[in-house]
Amino acid sequence: MDRDGGTLSISRQCRLLSLGRTSLYYHAVEDKELLALMRRIDELFTEDPTRGVKRMCSALRKDGLAVRLYRVRRLFGRMGLSAIYCKPRLSNPHPGHK
């Protein structure tokens, strides 16, 4: 894209590239508070990977951060985290039953 007023206007350049003109001006902004919260979640999760969303939420509240359960759940999904816990082994037969 030539924004300095070349031979083609910006709208014409966007049309030729099949871009929306508004997407040219959009710049994503990362919130510093959100990044700090995600960093703290990562620190706490590295400390104890058995913490789920509820325990993580209470640990963050003990640190003085005002967070809700749904926000922590969304950030867990965004960061690809899930608690490590014993899953039920329902398909394994009991050794005494043949």
pLDDT tens-digit series, residues 30-87: 789 999 999 999 999 999 999 999 999 999 999 999 999 999 999 999 999 999 988 8
Is the confidence at residue 3, as pLDDT, over 80? no
Rounded to whole angstroms, the Cα distance separating 12 from 24 reads 12
pLDDT tens-digit series, residues 10-21: 888 888 888 888
C-alpha dist (Å) from residue 52 to 39, 69, 72: 16, 11, 10
**Per-residue model confidence (pLDDT) at position 11:** 84
**Per-residue model confidence (pLDDT) at position 5:** 63
Q: What are the extents of the domains in the chain?
A: 1-29, 32-79
- Residue with the larger pLDDT of the pair 40 and 90: 40
